[in-house]
Amino acid sequence: MKENTDPAVVMRKTMAKSERVGTNGGTAAGLVGSYDQVAERIGRFHESGIETLLLQFQPFEPEMRRFAEHIMPRLRELRCR
């Protein structure tokens, strides 16, 4: 598979530094850790100008609900600072 991709692609360079599990390198964004750490990381993405993140939840419904319950309130709190 690697021989069929452009070696200049940023994801390839990022994944070469650290093997991580995730769809299309999804965990390379660093959205792992405590609820506070994940919210702070998303907040830093927003501060740098990133307005949209494509997230994947597995299993979808319970993890999406957990994100909504624990991460979204922290993000709202960060925005109010």
What are the backbone dihedrals phi and psi of residue 66, each rounded to the nearest 5 degrees, phi first? -65, -40
Q: Output the pLDDT for position 35.
A: 96
User: DSSP of 14-76, one letter per residue?
Assistant: HHHHS---SGGGGGGG---SSHHHHHHHHHHHHHTT--------SSHHHHHHHHHHHTHHHHH
Q: Residue 32 — pLDDT band, cuts 50, 70, 90?
A: confident
pLDDT of res. 49: 92
User: Is residue 24's pLDDT more than 70?
Assistant: no
